[in-house]
Amino acid sequence: MKKTHNNYLNSKRLNILKLAKDIIANEGLTSNTFDTIASTHKLNISEINLLFPDGNMDLLKYSLEQLNIELQEYCQSRDLIRLPVHKRIRKILLSKIEIMNNEKKFYKKIFLNSLLPNKNVSLPSQLYKSVDQIWYLAGDTSVDFNFYTKRLILAGIYSRVVLFFFNNNNQQELEHLLDVNLKRVAKIPELKSKIKIIKDYFPKAMKFVKNTI
């Protein structure tokens, strides 16, 4: 009974998210987003508020969760295990770009909203979830230092590629940018080199993010 109830609620939340996408793509995520959804589609605003009790932040988090679910289902339907690890990462990251490209304006507004200060959904936490999922889908089994350095390294690459994607439409240049970066970390280096890569990539990624706000 509980599972049926949860499925029903998730179905309702999915429907609201679907209706919200065009509105957010055009207007951004504003304090009036739920009111606009309700008035445009003749829905009860109280029901929407019950489905997303924390308002916009709930909707933002839910949209990113659904994106991750879609990516996981997409990747699990493909035979990635035969590829070298860095090519798996490449395929997964490009698959995520492909999914977001179908609703690029919406995801750009969602992504930029997470850059705003004083938000419960912060860029660092979402960045970590994204790269952690990519490594998981790639079959990563590392532990200890390797676990964290892989995610820090990929965080820099992921940030640069996604920000390029949101601000450009050149797929060839995007793939070139990704390939140049992945080539440098195709083989996990020794400890001394790992620290150098983290120093090279992470500050650049954060500077790139800062310049887009």
Q: Tens digits of per-residue pLDDT, 148-193?
A: 888 888 988 998 999 999 999 999 999 999 999 887 666 554 444 5
Given the structure tokens 């994106």, which residue do they identify?
A: 67
pTM (2 decimals)? 0.82
Contact 158, 203 (CB under 8 A): no
Question: 119-157: b or e for each residue (b if 16 or more CB lie within 10 Å)?
Answer: eebebeebbeebbbbbbebbebeeeeeeeebbbbbbbbb
- Name the residue among 39, 28, 150 with its Cα closest to residue 85: 150
User: In this predicted structure, what is the pLDDT of residue 152?
Assistant: 86
CB neighbours of residue 74 within 10 Å? 15
User: In this predicted structure, what is the pLDDT of residue 85?
Assistant: 84
| Mean predicted lDDT score pLDDT of the chain | 84
Contacts of range 32-40, beta carbons closer than 8 Å, 24 or more positions apart:
33/59
pLDDT tens for 50-75 read: 999 999 989 998 999 999 999 999 99
Share of the chain above pLDDT 90, in %: 54
Query: Any residues with CB less than 8 A from the CB of 164 and at least 6 apart, and which?
Result: 173, 174, 177
pLDDT classification of 116: cutoffs 50, 70, 90: low
CB neighbours of residue 84 within 10 Å? 10
Map residue 52 onto helix, strand or coil: coil
Contact 136, 181 (CB under 8 A): no
Residues present in the chain in total: 213
Contact 207, 160 (CB under 8 A): no
* Structure token pair of residue 131: 């790269």
Mean pLDDT of 101-112: 93
Contact 137, 99 (CB under 8 A): no
- Asked if residue 208 has pLDDT above 50, the reply is no
Query: Any residues with CB less than 8 A from the CB of 15 and at least 6 apart, and which?
Result: none
